[in-house]
Chain A
C-alpha cells in the first residue's frame, strides 16, 4: 500500500498535469498526441478507481506512467482499482504502438511498480522482475494482459495456439476486448467459434475479397447476435427516486459459456430469470437451471433453406445438455427476419420446435441491422488504435 506521502505527491503531480493539459489543449481546443502527457480519471458513478497520467515515450518506445494513484473501493471486487489501472496502462501501451514496456517515473511511489499492481500480478501468477526499477517488461506485460481480460481456459488456450502459429498477437486479442470493440463473451464466440478468428479480430479481410470477407462477416454477426441476448439478459434496472434507471456497473447474475461445437450460448442462472423474446408465453428459469441457446442469425430465405440443418444441431444440443446434472432448457434464437416467412412456414417451424421441447426466441434484431453493426465493428477493429 502506498504511503500517505506518496499519495499526496501523486495528487500534486496529477493536479499539475491537469493544469498543463487545460492550458495546452483544452483552452486551445487542440487534441493531445500520444507523446503528450494525458491525465485520466477512472470512475464509476461517483467512485474514483484510479488517477493516471501517461504518455508514449517516443525516444524509448515505451509507455511512461507519471501518475498512478489507485483506490480499491470496498463495494467492488477485490483489487478492482488495480484492475482498472492496469487494464488501461496495458491497452494504452498497445494503442501507442510501442514495445509494451511500461515505465513508472519517480512520481509513482518513488519510481517503483505500484504496490497494488504488484498484488494483482501475484494474483495473476505473473512474476515481475523489475519492481523497484519501476519497469514492466514486454514479456511480463503480455502475461498480465492475457490474465487480466478474463478469458476462459479454452479461449486462452486458443489464443496461445494462434500466437504460437504466428497468426495473431495475444495483445491484439486482449485489446479488442478492453478497447470495447468486442465484449468478452462476443470475443470468446469469435475465438472459439471461427476457424479463422485472427482475420476477424484483426479485421484482415478486404471487402473486395468477398468470399473471405463474407465468411468472417457471418461468424462475427452471429457472435454479435449472441451478444445482443447477453445484453438483454444482463441488463438490470434499478429504481431510484421512483424512476427506473439502468446501472452501468450492476448486472444480472448469470454465467455465460459458449459451446463452440454448435455455436450455442449457455447461461448459468444464478437468480430467477424471466426469459426474454419468447413468443406467446412466459417462462421463468430458476436458480441452478441453465439456458442453452442455439444462436443463428439467418435471413428469411436462409431460415427456410437451413432450418433442417439447425434441427440436427438442436438434436445434438438436446442430447448433449438435457438429462445431465444441471437442468437445461433449450432455445432456438433467430432474428426478426423470421416474421417475413409465410404463415404456414412459421407455423411448421414452431410446431417442429415444440415437438422437440425447444422454445423459439425471436430477437428484435434483423439480419440487415446486425450486418450493419458487424461491418462497423470490423471497420472499427481496423483503425482502433488511431
Chain B
C-alpha cells in the first residue's frame, strides 16, 4: 500500500537560488494564487496554475535535498493523517496557518509553527511525535530565518491489518431502504412533500436518506420548505443531495414558529424592498428591482450543485448578518429558477430567522415566483 512520509526541509534564501531559477519567486507567485483561490473566481484555472508552481517547488526541492547541505526532518506516514484529521475538525485554523501547503516562506514560518502548536494543544494532540517534531522544526527555522519546503516521500508499507471478522454481515446490516414506493404522485407539491416526509422518517430512524432538489420547480421547493420549516415537531436536520451526487449541508426543518399579529403590526408601515434573486438572468426585471441578492458571477463559480448551494448559503448568511443592525426589512424576493441557489438562500434565511426567533420580528421575506412570464406571490417567511 502506498503511503506518504513528509520530509521537512529548511532552506535559506540563498539556497533557493538554482542556476537561472529562484524558488522564492515561484513561492511568492504560489502565495498570490492561494489568495485568488479563496475568492473562488476562475477556480479551475487558478488550481491548475497552483499545481504547476507547487510541482516545481517539489521537483527543485528534491534537487536541493540531493545537492545541498540543508536541515531536514523526516515525519512518519501518520503526519498526513494528522493533517487530514485537523482539516476535518478545524478547517479554518488549518487554512489560516496554511498547514496543508507544501512550503512556507520565511515570513510565514513562525505563524505555521504557532498554528500547529495551538491546534495540537486544543485538539489534545500534544503527545503526537510528528507534531512535536514539526513544531520544533518550524520554531528552529523561524529562529534561523529559513524557508521551509515540505516534500513527499512515497513509500510502500504493509497493507492495513486484514479484516479478521466477517465484514459482509456488518455491511448487510447497514440501514438501506428495502421497501418500495407504492404511490406515483404526479403533483409536484405533493411529490416533494412526500419525498421530504420519507427522508425525515428515514433520518429519524437512522437510515441514510437525502432530499433531492434537482429538477424541481423553484416555487415548489420554497413553498414545501416553508411548510416543513414552520411545521410543529422536533427539529430535524435533513440531508440534501443533488442529482450530480454532491452533498450539500443539512437543511433544518420543524424549527420555526409562525409569528402572530405583532409581526403584521411591525411591518405595516415599512416600505417594501424589491430584491431580485440573481443578476443577469432576467434583465426585464431590472426597472422593478432595487437590488439583486446574488451576483450571477459570484454564484456560478461552483462546479457541483452542492458547491453552488454552499456559495449561495454563505453569501446570503453574510448579508443577513449585516442586516441585523440596519433596522426592519420587508423584502419582496423575486425568485427565478436555479435550485442550488434557491436552497442555499432558504437555508441561510431559516438559520437567520432561528437566530432572530426570540426577538421582535424585523425581517420578512415574501417570495414572488417567476412562472410562465408572471410573478406569483408565495408565503411570507418572518
Cβ contacts A to B, 17 pairs, < 8 Å: A59-B188, A60-B181, A96-B243, A97-B212, A97-B245, A129-B178, A157-B163, A160-B170, A164-B174, A192-B159, A208-B47, A209-B100, A215-B152, A222-B2, A301-B62, A383-B304, A386-B304
A59–B59 touching, CB < 8 Å: no
B170–A214 touching, CB < 8 Å: no
Q: Report the bound CA distance from A62 to B84 in whole Å.
A: 35
A97–B242 touching, CB < 8 Å: yes
Q: Report the bound CA distance from A352 to B133 in whole Å.
A: 36
Contact with B along A198-222 (1 / 0, CB 8 A): 0000000001111110110011001
Known contacts: A301-B62, A301-B63. The answer to whether A210 contacts B54 by CB under 8 A is yes
A214–B54 touching, CB < 8 Å: yes
Q: How far is the CB of B313 from chain A (nearest CB, A)?
A: 18
B154–A218 touching, CB < 8 Å: yes
A61–B212 touching, CB < 8 Å: yes
Does A228 sit within 8 A of B, measured CB to CB? Answer: no
Chain B residues packing against A (C-beta within 8 Å): 1-4, 6, 34, 37, 44, 47-48, 50-51, 54-55, 58-59, 62-63, 65-66, 77, 80-81, 83-84, 87, 100-102, 150, 152-156, 158-160, 163, 167-168, 170-171, 174, 176-181, 183-188, 191, 194-195, 209, 212, 214-216, 241-245, 303-304
Known contacts: A34-B214, A214-B152, A301-B59. The answer to whether A99 contacts B84 by CB under 8 A is no
A interface residues, how many (CB within 8 angstroms): 71
Does A41 sit within 8 A of B, measured CB to CB? Answer: no
Q: Report the bound CA distance from A97 to B242 in whole Å.
A: 6
Which residues in B have their C-beta under 8 angstroms from that of A320? Answer: none
Q: How far is the CB of A292 from chain B (nearest CB, A)?
A: 14
Q: Report the bound CA distance from A222 to B101 in whole Å.
A: 22
Does A195 sit within 8 A of B, measured CB to CB? Answer: yes
Q: How far is the CB of B40 from chain A (nearest CB, A)?
A: 10
B214–A211 touching, CB < 8 Å: no
Which residues in B have their C-beta under 8 angstroms from that of A211? Answer: 6, 80, 83, 100-102, 150, 152
Q: How far is the CB of A174 from chain B (nearest CB, A)?
A: 13
A139–B186 touching, CB < 8 Å: no
Which residues in B have their C-beta under 8 angstroms from that of A157? Answer: 163, 167-168
Q: How far is the CB of A190 from chain B (nearest CB, A)?
A: 10
Does A306 sit within 8 A of B, measured CB to CB? Answer: yes
Which residues in A have their C-beta under 8 angstroms from that of B245? Answer: 94-95, 97, 172, 384-385
Which residues in A have their C-beta under 8 angstroms from that of B242? Answer: 97
> A193-B2, A209-B87 given. 5 additional CB < 8 A pairs?
A58-B212, A193-B1, A215-B152, A260-B1, A309-B155
Known contacts: A57-B184, A261-B1. The answer to whether A195 contacts B215 by CB under 8 A is no
B171–A164 touching, CB < 8 Å: yes
B156–A59 touching, CB < 8 Å: no
Which residues in B have their C-beta under 8 angstroms from that of A160? Answer: 167-168, 170-171
User: Which residue, A95, A133, A140, A164, has most C-beta atoms of chain B within 10 A?
Assistant: A164
Does A163 sit within 8 A of B, measured CB to CB? Answer: yes
A59–B54 touching, CB < 8 Å: no
Which residues in A have their C-beta under 8 angstroms from that of B167? Answer: 157, 160-161, 164
A306–B100 touching, CB < 8 Å: no
Q: Which partner residue on chain B sits nearest A371 by CB separation?
A: B55
Chain A residues packing against B (C-beta within 8 Å): 33-35, 56-62, 94-99, 101, 103, 129-130, 133, 135, 137-140, 142, 157, 160-161, 163-164, 170, 172, 192-196, 207-212, 214-215, 218-219, 222, 260-263, 298-299, 301-302, 304-306, 309, 313, 371, 375, 379, 382-386
User: Which residue, A95, A96, A160, has most C-beta atoms of chain B within 10 A?
Assistant: A160
Q: Which partner residue on chain A sits nearest B155 by CB separation?
A: A309
State the main secondary structure of chain B at its contact with A.
mixed
Q: How far is the CB of B337 from chain A (nearest CB, A)?
A: 13
Q: How far is the CB of A35 from chain B (nearest CB, A)?
A: 5
Known contacts: A58-B191, A164-B170. The answer to whether A215 contacts B4 by CB under 8 A is yes
A208–B83 touching, CB < 8 Å: no
Q: How far is the CB of A56 from chain B (nearest CB, A)?
A: 7
Known contacts: A211-B100, A384-B245. The answer to whether A103 contacts B181 by CB under 8 A is yes
B1–A192 touching, CB < 8 Å: yes
Q: Report the bound CA distance from A56 to B152 in whole Å.
A: 45
Q: Which partner residue on chain B sits nearest A105 by CB separation?
A: B184
B154–A306 touching, CB < 8 Å: yes
Which residues in A have their C-beta under 8 angstroms from that of B180? Answer: 101, 103, 130, 133, 135, 137
Q: Report the bound CA distance from A59 to B196 in whole Å.
A: 11
Q: Report the bound CA distance from A96 to B154 in whole Å.
A: 38
Which residues in B have their C-beta under 8 angstroms from that of A193? Answer: 1-2
Q: How far is the CB of B307 from chain A (nearest CB, A)?
A: 9
A97–B241 touching, CB < 8 Å: yes
A137–B2 touching, CB < 8 Å: no
Q: Report the bound CA distance from A204 to B96 in whole Å.
A: 20
Which residues in B have their C-beta under 8 angstroms from that of A103? Answer: 180-181
Known contacts: A196-B84, A210-B101. The answer to whether A60 contacts B215 by CB under 8 A is no
Which residues in B have their C-beta under 8 angstroms from that of A386? Answer: 244, 304
User: Which residue, A57, A210, A302, has most C-beta atoms of chain B within 10 A?
Assistant: A210
User: Which residue, B87, B100, B158, B195, has most C-beta atoms of chain A within 10 A?
Assistant: B100
Q: Report the bound CA distance from A146 to B44 in whole Å.
A: 33
Which residues in A have their C-beta under 8 angstroms from that of B155? Answer: 309
Q: Which partner residue on chain B sits nearest A204 by CB separation?
A: B84
Q: Report the bound CA distance from A306 to B7 in whole Å.
A: 13
A382–B304 touching, CB < 8 Å: yes
Which residues in B have their C-beta under 8 angstroms from that of A62? Answer: 181
Q: Report the bound CA distance from A208 to B3 in whole Å.
A: 20
B186–A59 touching, CB < 8 Å: yes
Q: How far is the CB of A84 from chain B (nearest CB, A)?
A: 23
A140–B178 touching, CB < 8 Å: yes
Which residues in A have their C-beta under 8 angstroms from that of B176? Answer: 138-139, 142
Q: Report the bound CA distance from A149 to B268 in whole Å.
A: 63
Which residues in B have their C-beta under 8 angstroms from that of A313? Answer: 156
Which residues in A have their C-beta under 8 angstroms from that of B195? Answer: 59-61
Q: Report the bound CA distance from A98 to B80 in whole Å.
A: 35
